[in-house]
Structure 1
Amino acid sequence: MAKKYDVVIIGAGPGGMTAALYASRANLSVAMIDRGIYGGQMNNTAAIENYPGFKSIMGPDLAQDMYDSSINFGAEYVYGAVQSIEDHGDTKLVKTDSDELEAKVVIIATGSEYKKLGVPGEKDYGGKGVSYCAVCDGAFFKNKHVVVVGGGDSAIEEATYLAGIVDHVTVIHRRDQLRAQQVIQDRAFANDKIDFVWNTNVTEVVGDGTKVSGVKVRNNQTNEESTIETAGVFIYVGLLPMTEPFADLKITNADGWIKTDDQMATAVPGIYAIGDVREKKLRQITTAVGEGGIAGQQAFEYIESHRSSDKSEVTQ
C-alpha cells in the first residue's frame, strides 16, 4: 500500500528543499525524494559566491545547511528514483524504483543536466577547470585565458560575460557560424577580448592532474590537430531537462522543459514544477529557492481550498 502524504517533492536540490521547508512549516506532511545525495549540483561546486548572506561558501556546506532547514519541521527524506506520476484527480501516485507514495500535491524539482562533450579529461577535470556555469565560476579565472565551447545563445552570452572578468576568451565552435541570436553575436564580435576558432571540435581536456592546462582540438574540415592552452573550459552544448518520468502527463514543451504559470502550477491541477526543470532563462540557486517558496505556499493553499470544498459539500 502506498505511503500517504500531503505533499511529495521530487528532487532535493535548493528548490526542492525550500519547498519542503515551506510546506512542512505549514503543518503539511511532506516527503522529499531524490535518487542521490541532497543538494543536487551544489555538491559539485567548490565555492558559491553569489548566494545572498555568504561572501563565499562551499557548495556541499550550503547543501547541508539547506537540508537541515528543510527537515526541521518534519519533512521526510526518501531515497529513490521516480519512475512515474499517476494523476488520480484529488490524489497523485508517485512510483519509485522501490516504493509508491500517494499525495494531494506533487512538486517536481528534478532539475536539468548539462550535455557533455564526452571527451577524455572532461569528467576528470570537473570542478578543476571544467565548468558549465560562467556566472557560478567565472570569478575564479580572473585575469586568465579561458575557452568557451559552443555557438548558441548561452555559449556566446557567457563568453561575453566572461570577457568582463578574464583576460581573454576563445570560443570554439564546430560550425563556421554561430547559432546565437544576431544581437548576441554582434556584441561578442565587437568585443576585442573574444576570438573565435571555427569548424573545430574539442577532442580532449588536458591538465596536470589538479587543474586544466589546455584542450586538444581538431579542425573538422582539414583534420588538423592542435592544443589550445587555457586555464578554464566552459562548455555550453545544451541542457537536458530531467523530465522523462513525466512524459505521460503532457506538461512539457517540445524540448522537454516543464511549462508553469507564475505560481509554479503545471497544466495538471495539484502538480507544480520549480527550479531548473522549468521552462525559463536563468537557472541559479537563488531562482530555485524563490520558486520553491512559492510552490510550498501554493501546495498549502491548494490543499486548504480542497478541504474547504469538501466541507461545503458535506453541509449542503
Structure 2
Amino acid sequence: MDVFDVAIIGGGPAGISAGIYAARFKLNAILISNSLGGTAQSAHLIENYPGFGAISGFELMQKFREHLKTFEIPILEKHVYSVSRENDLFVLNLNDQEIKAKYLLIATGTKRRKLGVPGEANFYGKGVSYCVTCDAFFYRGKTVAVIGGSDAANMGAILLSSMAEKVYIIYRKEKLRGELIWIDRVITNPKIEVLYNSNVIEVMGKEFVEGVKLEDGRVIPVDGVFVEIGSIPECCCAKELGITINEKGFIAVDTTQKTNVDRVYAAGDVSSGSNGFQQILTAASEGIIAIKSIFDDIERSKGKLWTKK
C-alpha cells in the first residue's frame, strides 16, 4: 500500500486549492471527498470572487474542479468513515479500502443548521428546503418564507423573488446582517417582506407545507420554507484524534492552519482560521497556507522522520 505525504479530506474551495498546491509542491497527495465542489456549488450567485464578476457557485466550482484535474493528483469521491493512528501514520477508513498518509488536512466544511421545530423534519422535501438554488424553481408564483437574516438568507430571498409571488424573511433579530449590498436589494424589493424579531416555532400543513407558526401566535400562510440559519462545522475525525474544538465548534488552528495534534491541519469553513470570516476566497487561501505549511515541515524533517528502513 502506498503511503501518501498528505491526505486531504474535503473537496470544497479549501480542499481543491490544497490539492492544486500539493501537486505544485510535488507532494504525494490524495484528495478524498464525497462531494467534489462542496456546499459552495449551491450558491446561486457569487459577486465577490476576483476575476469572475457575477458567477454561480456551480460554475465557479466547476472551474475549480477542472483546474484540479489538470494536475496528477488522485481523487477519490468517497466518504471517510474514520481516521486512526498507526505508528507515525494516519489510516483513513473508506469502508472498502484504507488510505495511509503522513499528514492530514481536514477541509470538510460545514452542514446546514436546522431549526429543530415541530414539522420541520416531517415536511422535508414537501415544502421544507435547505437549498434555495436547488428548489426555488418549484415555487414559481407561490408564497415562501426564508428563515434567517444573514447573507445566505438575503441572497436566497432575492433569488426566490424572481420566481415566487411573495417572499417573507423571518428573522429573530431587529435588523438584517451581512453585506450591505444584499441588504439594500432586500429592503427595496417589493416582493420581499421582512418580519423582524420573529421566531418560527412550528412548520404547519397536512400533506405539504401550508404555513409557519410564530412565537407570538401568528400563522403565516406559505407554500415553502427555506431554512438559512447558518451552518455547523463538519469536524470529521476531530474527536477521535484528540483535536481541539473551539467554543463555537470549529477546529482550532494557528496561523499556519495547524491544529494541536502533530501533522494535522485544518482549512476552510471547518476551521477557526481567517478570523471566522467564511468566504470562498478565504477558504481557498487557507487550503493553500496549510499545504505550504505541510511542505515546509516535510522539508525541515527530511532525513529525520521519514527515513526508509
Q: What range describes the TM-score normalised by the shorter chain of this pair?
A: 0.7 to 0.9
Pairwise mapping of residues 1-316 of structure 1 onto structure 2 (< 5 A)? 2-36=1-35, 38-88=36-86, 90-117=88-115, 118=120, 119=123, 120-123=126-129, 126-127=132-133, 128=136, 134=151, 138=155, 141=158, 147-151=168-172, 156-158=176-178, 162-167=182-187, 196-198=196-198, 200-201=200-201, 203=203, 216-220=211-215, 222=217, 224-227=218-221, 235-236=228-229, 238-251=230-243, 252-279=245-272, 280-310=275-305
Q: Cα distance 1:131–1:8, how it changes in 2: closer, same or farther (>3 A)?
A: farther
Q: Deviations over 1:197-249 (max 9, x none)?
A: 535436269xxxxxxxx982213454x4233799x95621x422112433122
Using structure 1 for the length normalisation, give the TM-score. 0.73
CA distance in 1, matches of 2:180, 2:47: 20
- Displacement of 1:88: 4.2
Q: Cα distance 1:274–1:147, how it changes in 2: closer, same or farther (>3 A)?
A: farther
- The two structures, once aligned, show a CA RMSD in angstroms of 3.6
Q: Deviations over 1:264-294 (max 9, x none)?
A: 0001111100001012522111110110110
- Displacement of 1:305: 1.5
Q: Cα distance 1:140–1:218, how it changes in 2: closer, same or farther (>3 A)?
A: closer
Residue segments in structure 1 that go unaligned for 5+ positions in a row: 170-192, 206-213
- Displacement of 1:122: 2.6
Q: Cα distance 1:125–1:76, how it changes in 2: closer, same or farther (>3 A)?
A: closer
CA distance in 1, matches of 2:254, 2:131: 38
- Displacement of 1:63: 1.5
Using structure 2 for the length normalisation, give the TM-score. 0.75
- Displacement of 1:261: 0.3
Question: Partner of 2:139 in structure 1?
Answer: none
Moved over 6 A (4+): none
Q: Deviations over 1:3-25 (max 9, x none)?
A: 42111100011100000111111
* Structure 2 counterpart SS, 1:262: coil
User: Aligned letter for 1:19?
Assistant: A
Does structure 1 retain, via aligned residues, the 8 Å contact 2:82–2:237? yes
